[in-house]
Structure 1
Amino acid sequence: MPAKSTPYFTPALFKFLRDLARHNDREWFTANKARYEAELKAPALRFIAALDAPLKQTVSPHFVASAKPVGGSLFRIYRDTRFSGDKSPYKTHVGMTFFHEATRSVARVEGGGNAAPGRLDAPLFYLHLQPGECFIGGGVWHGQPDTVKRIRNYMVNNPASWKKATRGGAFAKSFSLDGDSLSRPPQGYDPRHELIEDLKRKDFVCTATLSEEQVCAPDFQKTVLKHFAGAAPMIDWLCGALDLDF
């Protein structure tokens, strides 16, 4: 009988995150640093390392799962509180981004975007693990003005391909479009355009919810790859809008 696969993540991850949410201070975190390393950081880096090859083989050769402890796919647990009224020092979720090779790092993703300042944003895949709020996402989030304009112009010129990428197939079964939108049509675009609600978007992202049970299952890698493949038509379309390979 073949050996059972070992899950990357266990319920201990979510127990740690729930405890952290109740005790979000440096004293508690320091006392529980070993739990953070064993239950969150180490399994997340193992998961990322194991995902890189199948991601390239089954979804796109141009996306990267980087297991580097710093500057790779795993977001830091430490919050940037400089401009926030919430001074809690730690994030209470796990964030992982699988970025286009044109991006190279998550430097600006950490700050709320998809690229380094002055560089073109690139679409990405995202995995979010949080008690009661796990999801897979993808797209361009908080894009720079030039990026958003290019996407909108591409949508105006290619409405049928946008609808095909986001309205049918595996995408529609699992994903919904998400993110912020303008309250009014963007300047310079026909308010009667058939895709005006999508043209009003400031974020071009999609999300699909996951359960904690799915995250802790031995086949979680397959679940993630299946969802990435489901989101691929939209990510491919966004790459086309930004002249990037998919």
Structure 2
Amino acid sequence: MKFSSRTLSFLTEAGQQTDPNWLEENQAAYEAHVRGPFIDLAERLKTALQPIVSDYHFPVKGIGRIKKTANHVVSGGPCCKDWLSISISKPSESRFERNPHLFFGILPNIPPYKGVVVAGGLFMPSGPQLKRVRNAIARDAQAFHALFADPAFKARFETDFSREEVASRPPRGFNPDHSDMEWLKLKDFWW
């Protein structure tokens, strides 16, 4: 199954519904334009990537579900989400730290994305994780420079790391004149 031009508009419409029966009444369109293609995508990602990253978790339960549970519906508010996502990552050994992950999202109404998002990296790292990544970059960032210079990578990702979360000044303990200071000031490491 493939996504269609109706996928984004269906999700936008779903996110505006207050009638709890709306999704059941539109089940065929939901299956054809949203849930079916999303499950197909998740299965294809698992087939292609699990041999490479066998220790990563590929979620299957709840994939493509947009109906909010009763405890997530605000009185008079929408009963469906207007977005879908899947996050593939190695299970964390600590509840305080996340591992780098791959992310695919259909976010038609979430600025600044408003569409399809494909990302990978370390999002919202803990303080100790952030320090370890910054120390690694300060020591030797050649692997990142090579990745961002790779023509195949650049064809898919036009920029290097996301600039959504950036410190206003150089982090404590790092040379303010470091050649990779723009990366050292980042608070997330994804693209």
**Same fold at TM > 0.5:** yes
Deviation larger for 186-195 or 43-52: 43-52
Aligned residue in 1 for 2:169: 184
Aligned 8 A contact 1:94 1:129 in 2: yes
Deviation at residue 40 of structure 1 after TM alignment: 2.3
Distance 1:88 1:31, change over 3 A: closer
Aligned 8 A contact 1:25 1:88 in 2: yes
Match of 1:154 among 122, 136, 155: 136
Match of 1:13 among 7, 19, 28: 7
Match of 1:51 among 23, 26, 45: 45
Match of 2:184 among 191, 199, 206: 199
Distance 2:180 2:166 in 1: 13
2:153 aligned with 1:171? yes
Deviation at residue 152 of structure 1 after TM alignment: 0.5
3-state secondary structure, aligned to 2:50: helix
Q: Mapping of 1:225-240 within 5 angstroms?
A: none
Aligned 8 A contact 2:122 2:189 in 1: yes
3-state secondary structure, aligned to 2:117: strand
Match of 1:127 among 101, 104, 116: 104
Aligned residue in 2 for 1:4: none
TM-score norm. by structure 2 comes to 0.76
Aligned 8 A contact 2:11 2:83 in 1: yes
Distance 1:37 1:173, change over 3 A: closer
3-state secondary structure, aligned to 1:63: coil
Match of 2:56 among 52, 56, 63: 63
3-state secondary structure, aligned to 1:129: strand
3-state secondary structure, aligned to 1:26: coil
Match of 1:26 among 10, 18, 28: 18
Distance 2:43 2:168 in 1: 41
- Give deviations 1:40-69, integer Å, cap 9, x for gaps: 234322331233121123x53333322122
- Give deviations 1:16-59, integer Å, cap 9, x for gaps: 113224xx2431x53223244554234322331233121123x5
3-state secondary structure, aligned to 2:43: helix
How many residues are matched?
Answer: 175
Distance 2:137 2:81 in 1: 35
Distance 1:198 1:90, change over 3 A: farther
Q: CA RMSD in A?
A: 2.9
Aligned residue in 1 for 2:87: 97
Determine which structure has more spread, i.e. the larger CA radius of gyration. 2
User: Whose helix fraction is larger, Structure 1's or Structure 2's?
Assistant: 1
Deviation at residue 151 of structure 1 after TM alignment: 0.6
Distance 1:15 1:25, change over 3 A: closer
Give the AA of the match of 2:99. A
Q: Which runs of 5+ in 1 are unaligned?
A: 1-6, 104-114, 207-246
- Give deviations 1:184-228, integer Å, cap 9, x for gaps: 11111111111000000001010xxxxxxxxxxxxxxxxxxxxxx
Q: Report the identity percentage.
A: 21
Q: Mapping of 1:208-223 within 5 angstroms?
A: none
Distance 1:62 1:166 in 2: 25
TM-score norm. by structure 1 comes to 0.61
Aligned 8 A contact 1:49 1:66 in 2: no
Deviation at residue 96 of structure 1 after TM alignment: 1.3
